[in-house]
Amino acid sequence: MNDSIGRRRFVELGAGAVVAVGAGQLSGCASLATVRAEPRDGVITLSVRNYPQLNRPGGQLKVAPVGSARPMFVIFREPGHYLALSSVCTHLECTVELESNRIVCPCHGSTYDREGNVLRGPAERSLARYETRLTDAGELEIRL
């Protein structure tokens, strides 16, 4: 009997552990705090005032929708404008990591810019984007 698991399964299990941490802080330069969010009618709502990192250039947040095995990244673009990206690599569906100026897949080295566009393969497609809208009350809505 072979008790070993493949590298892809190991990475998937590790991603689950990150989500299980919830809103706790994670150490390391590539790690972000993960915020759990409960979708309602397919929409996640975040009060931007509660996340100072979403109010400054380069600001980013990792959001784990309740019921999903994979987090998403929310990135500040400019005042009032945000980008929400899937964390699923378009090559072989490993979970990517958001670094300061790029997004990297630890499995096969695909690299994306902070807009989710491919910089280096083997991935050939951009990361999936979620529609975002900032309400007049300062609530960021992310449509799943």
Looking up residue 84, the CATH number of its domain turns out to be: 2.102.10.10
Could you tell me if residue 1 is inside a domain? Answer: no
Tell me the β-bridge partners of 120.
111
In this prediction the pTM is 0.74
Could you tell me if residue 38 is inside a domain? Answer: yes
pLDDT exceeds 90 at position 115: yes
> Phi then psi for 52, rounded to 5 degrees?
-55, -30
Helices and strands, number each (H, E), in the chain: 1, 11
Q: Where are the alpha helices (DSSP H) in the chain?
A: 7-21
Element (H, E) at 45: strand 43-47
Domain count within the chain = 1
Could you tell me if residue 119 is inside a domain? Answer: yes
Q: Of the ranges 13-22, 110-119, 127-136, which one carries the lowest mean pLDDT score? A: 13-22
Could you tell me if residue 124 is inside a domain? Answer: yes
pLDDT exceeding 90 applies to what percent of the chain?
66
Strand spans (E) along 38-80: 43-47, 60-65, 72-78
Which range of residues forms the domain containing residue 137? 7-143
Could you tell me if residue 113 is inside a domain? Answer: yes
